[in-house]
Structure 1
Amino acid sequence: MAFDADDEILQDFLVEAGEILEKLSEQLVDLERHPDDSDLLNAIFRGFHTVKGGAGFLQLDALVNCCHSAENVFDILRNHKRKVDSDLMDVVLETLDHVNAMFEQVRNHEELTPAPDALIAALDAFAQPEGDAGQQPADLRQDSPDDCGDITDDEFEQLLDALHDGGDAAQGQPAGSGESAKASAGGAGDDDITDDEFEALLDQLHGKGQFAGAPAAGEPAADASPDEQASSGKGDDLITDDEFEKLLDELHGKGGGPTATDSGKVPGSGPSSGAAPKAPAAKAAAPARETAPAAETTVRVDTKRLDDIMNMVGELVLVRNRLQRLGAASEDEHMHKAVSNLDVVTTDLQAAVMQTRMQPIKKVFGRFPRVVRDLARSLKKEVNLVMHGEETDLDKNLVEALSDPLVHLVRNSVDHGIEAPDVREKAGKPRQGTVTLSAEQEGDHILLSIDDDGAGMDPEVLRRKAVEKGIYEQDVADRLTESECFNLIFSAGFSTKEQISDVSGRGVGMDVVKTKIGQLNGQINIVSELGKGSRIIIKVPLTLAIMPTLMIMLGDQSFALPLVNVVEIFHLDLTKTNIVDGRECIVVRDKVFPLFHIKRWLVKNAAREDEPDNAHVVIVAMGTKQVGFVVDQLVGQEEVVIKPLGRALQGTPGMAGATITGDGRIALIIDVPSLLQHYS
């Protein structure tokens, strides 16, 4: 492997090929639904071809061979010599998996693991025409309007043969004649074509001297026209787009160049009759080449640098909070104005830096068509995936963190939700089920939903399973609301599957999903209707770096409650509480909330006899469950920067991190789900 090549070139390859491979996964699944889409076939062909070209430049032979075999398959498909079917797609998708694996090895500077020989052989078999219908003459294939890909290796070998086969092409014989086929099959073309040879080839097509550059003495060539002198007399030996397109037309036929548009017309090419470009056009092209190239509008920045900048902005937010607190205590008007201006600038800077860290959630959504396709095929189900809001932006760290939970939820919808085609038909539904994945921004949060039109969930079955597994006693299970029953699926070890398979049935996973969403300061909720389908709704903050919180006091210590968990706040007479199932509760608007004195959990030496008769109660929510926290004092809302706990405090139950408050104190950030799970 040529990892000793210029690192900048390698990085360019990783960026470009990475984007192409992400797109290929979606395109291949889309192709199975639209097998006759010529644009899609050409796009996939170009994708494999581009990755192969970059890999060849870096001498990544295993990756080149795999992409070349895949490229050959799509060359056959786009020339209508074979039809797309599920068996072919299975092989191509497996090939893409190996290409992705090798790409990761390139990224990690590891030795490449070639694709299995059996897989390459299967690809090569699919690269052969299917039946006699595909055996069309080469000239017809070249003239086909669908063939808008790049020049092939064989065609480039023909160009070389025109130069090396003893001058046949110089006498006017077509470049594809003679021994070119034999040279292509025999591996000719190991030697690079020289500049002089390429100029000679252009001379054969366009006439002597047109691309020869300025003569040594500075005088125009004797056989050049005035217009040709104008275009070449300054020593500019660059070939124009028009001239290169004409060269490709000699090989492919009209409309076959690599930049052909959907309609088959090549931008910037000559007239459709195939005539050479007129001299004035060549003359007009010269000034365009002399103009300075446009300035770069983008800069590639390492993500660590973005994280560092975000940390510094976080520190600035803390300083702003401190100055706001000091400014409020001052009567100096100029001080108030300066702090107010600082607040505006800091807020704008914070938003701008956050925007640089944003990525479209399409980065996550892009993998789901393949996940659904493979799982539906293994389960013998028919499932259509619909996606909305793919361009919704959120913090790059969240994009990465949401990937695994969403994959699990989508797989769960296909496996548990969507019924088998025959079962759906008997229920009066279409044989094909639908899973809908949606994303939208709501204020400073992102709403994600996974919908399916499957069987839905039966609350009675869930209650029975909860009792069987010892999660609840029968009388408690009977009092569960439907919403609480649906949320039972997030309990560890809970599963309604009678049969354990390699997909599901062990009750492992959904509890991990809920824990992961909780770690992101998010919420997850389920709505379901028996026979109609289910919807899972996830709400997560736009960013993990800066969090709006409600600052509270327990004794003389400060704590921060994530605002996303806070539902409402009220003052309460603690002498008017009730006891239900041995737990202290309060009734608010005919709703019963369990009540927790978190000061007893979090503050050392907190004595019950010191507790007042009146206190503030903060109602917090985790999914559909709501409880009341008794607090001593409400300080107010404040944006905080989350700092990780020190090594000695890491893993402290109920704590998500720490921050510095506006008055300079250190406050612990409460992790509500973890707090309740550990103490209640």
Structure 2
Amino acid sequence: MDGLDDIVEEFLVESHENLDQLDTDLVALEQEPDSRERLSSIFRTIHTIKGTSGFLAFHRLEEVTHVGENMLSRLRDGALELTPQRTSVLLQMVDTVRSLLASIEATGGEGSVDVSAVVAEISAAMEDTPAPAAAEPDPAPAEVVVDVLAEVPAQAAAAPAAEAPEEPASAPVAEVPAPVAAAPATAVPAPVVETAPEFEAAQDGEAAPAADSGTGQTRRAVADSTIRVDVDLLDELMLLVGELVLTRNQIVQYVGRSNDTDLVRASQRLNLIASELQEGVMKTRMQPIDHIWSKLPRVVRDLGLQLQKNIRLEMEGRDTELDKTLLEAVKDPLTHLVRNSVDHGIEDADARIRVGKPAEGVLTLRARHESGQVVVEVADDGAGIDPVRLGAKAVERGLVTAEALTRMGPQDILQMIFLPGFSTAAQVTNVSGRGVGMDVVKTNIESIGGTIEVESAPGRGTCTRLRIPLTLAIVPALTVECAGDRYAIPQISLQELVSLDAEKAANAVEEVGGAPVYRLRGELLPLVRLTDVLGLTSDRHDGHVVIAVLRSEGRRFGLVVDRVINTEEIVVKAVGGQLKAIGLYSGATVLGDGTVALILDVQALARRALRTESSDRQESRAAALQAVATDAERQRMLLAAIGGGRRVAIPLDTVTRLEQVRTESVEKVGNREVVQYRGAILPIVRLDRHLGAYGDSEREVLEVIVYSDHGRSVAIVVEEILDIVDGEAAVRSDIDDMGLLGSAVLGDKVTELLDVRAAILAADPAFYSTHPTTHDSLSAAPHGASLLEVSL
């Protein structure tokens, strides 16, 4: 089926299924010729094939089914009486259709299949007496064709063909019912003989049998390559696989405590088979997202005409697959987002031309797999969302105070479009503007375990991003314990785990604005204690703190639990109405040891713990977090050794990423060293040479600090990354040297303070030629957060 259009392929599959049913129905119809129900079913089937073949421009197929449809229509209406001879020509029509389908599948077209003979026979069979008598001999040649093809395996094809005219002297005409009864099993119409050379050309002498088997193989390639399965059956199969996974988890956990080598080996085999079976069953439920995207071009086209806008729809990642259940759940939210972009996002042609944009707006749909999720984006190149206007609307509606608005960043303001009843539409239309859309979209996406984010640049456009789990049935999860009970956290929301001993926890966990926070590699992380949320008392009293770093709605927070148990694949079970009403659980599961664990709803946890406090406390904490974060960024320093016992301190906000590169990958451009990095060429400065330390130059792997800004990057090579420390309380000195800003006592040792700007210019003298040259540009760099991915 390679190379066939998807529509043609689907047509072939359905048509072969219909033809098999037609064979059975036509023969059965002889036994009950007055069955109007069976006649209507046969008529509908032929009508469907005829209509689709006309749409696909298969004219001969349309011609033969059209004349067959005419006969069936007259039979159904009682204008004709079903006779064995008429049943025979209808069966010949079915075989001719099958031959045409075989040709379409093999060559993409109808080939040289001739339908004129069978069309003439059907037309003659519809005529009143004496027309049927004139057409009566036709079954005989059909019987001859059967005999000829049957003898081909034993004789040369030409010999029986030559003898064929002598055989049927008087045979079938006298007893018509006999060949008719055999027709479904053996009769092959003349068109098959005519097409045989086309399919047999490559078989060198064994034309007929090759054609027969070849046609069978081609048939299997289409009709038998797919099977229609009821969705309820797939759901039941998924439930059984889920139970198998639960049993597998229990067995693996039990066998892990055993010393029986054979038992361990058998459990490993069971684990592998269960995983492969689970993956296979899940694949049966996966469908391309194009199944719902295919309806959107019409939506965009009609809505664009209605609003008098010229809009082009582009789609990327149409073959990205998603569980069928989730696909249905995301259909309506996605349609709403598309309509919203057409109505609110993209301007009309005149407005676009006035601001220098092309008259045609572009709406882009993107889908991709990313970290166990499906990411779907709806992006437009329209006017974007103005945070100032959005904030003013929120104040006007009493959703936020003017004072609180001044403390909110642009991203926080954008999130307000998801508030119930919020709309920026100038007027209500039949498309949107009633304020009942985006909050419903968010609720629907979160109900299937997904998240929604919005990004916008005024004048350039808006991008709404959906993050959806691949499936809801079986998901990897982290099992934790709190107050003696087990809970599961879907790993899709988990970023990392942090364990603090009592001493470190006492110093690292602080109170800011009445809320606990933790300094995680220079970033302040709001903490939520699961015991507080659930109203329980922790059974851990040793001072240790275990933090699960989670991400929800674009923000990170730390969930404090008593202890981490393990990670395993869990089978999601629905919870009852009472538990669902609590709003903290998305389901339940049975763990490997047989205990039941509730699955935490991370989005609900984040909303309840971080967003349901009083507005005064929320504003106070937000302001304090921002102030402390700013101080922390200014004070945090990265310590690095540069050789000769010397070490330097580099402001953490000037660090984009820590990397390791092999010495052999360093190349030269003139007198400068460079390295290829992420598709770019980075200039290198070695701090030991830059500061006159001259460390070990024979290392195979170089420790590199990458700094990037405004699309340019440099690589600063050090001997070793030591630590990240606070620089606020350091004893400082203005004693400096070339390339230094001074020195300070950090970690009980005198540490040189690197002049980062001078080091960057040593690597790339033109680095600041296209953007601000003040040292503030370093502290303003937004890249320090990426260091969070690096484990020191």
Task: State the partner residue of 2:496.
Answer: 568
Provide the rounded CA distance (Å) in 2 between the counterparts of 1:537 and 1:311: 31
Provide the rounded CA distance (Å) in 2 between the counterparts of 1:628 and 1:301: 44
Asked whether 1:633 is paired with 2:577, we answer no
Provide the rounded CA distance (Å) in 2 between the counterparts of 1:449 and 1:290: 49
SS at match of 1:150: helix
Task: State the partner residue of 2:520.
Answer: 588
- Alignment CA distance shift 1:621-1:239 (3 Å): same
Query: How big is the shift at 1:306?
Result: 1.9
Task: State the partner residue of 2:723.
Answer: none
SS at match of 1:238: coil
Task: State the partner residue of 1:150.
Answer: 62
1:31-46 map, 5 Å: none
Provide the rounded CA distance (Å) in 2 between the counterparts of 1:590 and 1:150: 72
Asked whether 1:239 is paired with 2:189, we answer yes
Task: State the partner residue of 1:93.
Answer: none
The residue identity in structure 2 corresponding to 1:385 is L
Provide the rounded CA distance (Å) in 1 between the counterparts of 2:282 and 2:49: 41
The residue identity in structure 2 corresponding to 1:521 is G
Asked whether 1:375 is paired with 2:303, we answer yes
Provide the rounded CA distance (Å) in 2 between the counterparts of 1:555 and 1:648: 21
Structure with bigger strand share is: 2
Task: State the partner residue of 1:599.
Answer: 531
Contact kept? 1:527, 1:534, Cα under 8 Å:
yes
The residue identity in structure 2 corresponding to 1:239 is P
Provide the rounded CA distance (Å) in 1 between the counterparts of 2:578 and 2:378: 40
Provide the rounded CA distance (Å) in 2 between the counterparts of 1:69 and 1:213: 27
Larger Rg: 2
Contact kept? 2:241, 2:277, Cα under 8 Å:
yes
Contact kept? 1:320, 1:343, Cα under 8 Å:
yes
- Alignment CA distance shift 1:638-1:196 (3 Å): farther
Query: How big is the shift at 1:548?
Result: 1.0
Provide the rounded CA distance (Å) in 1 between the counterparts of 2:334 and 2:388: 27
- Alignment CA distance shift 1:61-1:335 (3 Å): closer
* Structure 1 stretch displaced more, 146-155 or 365-374: 146-155
Query: How big is the shift at 1:488?
Result: 2.0
RMSD: 4.9
Contact kept? 1:436, 1:450, Cα under 8 Å:
yes
**Unaligned stretches of 5+ in structure 2?**
1-5, 26-36, 75-79, 81-115, 152-157, 169-178, 180-185, 613-792
Task: State the partner residue of 2:468.
Answer: 540
Q: Deviations over 1:321-364 (max 9, x none)?
A: 22232233333333332322222222112111111222222211
Contact kept? 1:574, 1:615, Cα under 8 Å:
no
The residue identity in structure 2 corresponding to 1:488 is M
Provide the rounded CA distance (Å) in 2 between the counterparts of 1:528 and 1:388: 20
Provide the rounded CA distance (Å) in 1 between the counterparts of 2:473 and 2:340: 30
Task: State the partner residue of 1:391.
Answer: 319
Provide the rounded CA distance (Å) in 2 between the counterparts of 1:201 and 1:672: 74
Q: Deviations over 1:280-311 (max 9, x none)?
A: 99995577448894453443322222222221
Contact kept? 1:525, 1:538, Cα under 8 Å:
yes
Provide the rounded CA distance (Å) in 2 between the counterparts of 1:320 and 1:624: 35
SS at match of 1:300: coil
Provide the rounded CA distance (Å) in 1 between the counterparts of 2:344 and 2:544: 49
Task: State the partner residue of 1:87.
Answer: none
Aligned residues: 507
Task: State the partner residue of 1:344.
Answer: 272
Task: State the partner residue of 1:448.
Answer: 376
SS at match of 1:634: strand
Q: Deviations over 1:413-467 (max 9, x none)?
A: 2112111111112222222111111222235322212121111222222222222
Query: How big is the shift at 1:655?
Result: 0.6
Contact kept? 1:445, 1:541, Cα under 8 Å:
yes
Asked whether 1:433 is paired with 2:365, we answer no
The residue identity in structure 2 corresponding to 1:448 is V
Structure number with higher relative contact order (C-alpha < 8 Å, ≥ 6 residues apart): 1
Asked whether 1:227 is paired with 2:157, we answer no
1:298-313 map, 5 Å: 298-313=226-241
Contact kept? 1:567, 1:619, Cα under 8 Å:
yes
The residue identity in structure 2 corresponding to 1:585 is V
- Alignment CA distance shift 1:567-1:152 (3 Å): same
* Structure 1 stretch displaced more, 593-602 or 569-578: 569-578
TM-score by length of 1: 0.63
Asked whether 1:488 is paired with 2:438, we answer no
**Unaligned stretches of 5+ in structure 1?**
1-18, 25-42, 79-145, 165-175, 219-223, 247-265, 271-279
Provide the rounded CA distance (Å) in 2 between the counterparts of 1:22 and 1:409: 32
Q: Deviations over 1:248-293 (max 9, x none)?
A: xxxxxxxxxxxxxxxxxx97799xxxxxxxxx99995577448894
1:270-289 map, 5 Å: 284-285=207-208, 288-289=211-212
Query: How big is the shift at 1:21?
Result: 12
The residue identity in structure 1 corresponding to 2:235 is D
The residue identity in structure 2 corresponding to 1:332 is D
Asked whether 1:677 is paired with 2:611, we answer no
Contact kept? 1:199, 1:211, Cα under 8 Å:
no
The equivalent position to 2:486 in structure 1, one of 555, 558, 568, is: 558
1:256-275 map, 5 Å: none
- Alignment CA distance shift 1:325-1:156 (3 Å): closer
The residue identity in structure 2 corresponding to 1:346 is A
Provide the rounded CA distance (Å) in 2 between the counterparts of 1:585 and 1:490: 27
SS at match of 2:582: coil
Contact kept? 2:476, 2:569, Cα under 8 Å:
yes
Provide the rounded CA distance (Å) in 2 between the counterparts of 1:424 and 1:483: 25
Contact kept? 2:289, 2:321, Cα under 8 Å:
yes
- Alignment CA distance shift 1:566-1:192 (3 Å): farther
SS at match of 1:345: helix
The equivalent position to 1:317 in structure 2, one of 242, 245, 248, is: 245
Provide the rounded CA distance (Å) in 1 between the counterparts of 2:214 and 2:199: 18
* Structure 1 stretch displaced more, 236-245 or 387-396: 236-245
TM-score by length of 2: 0.55
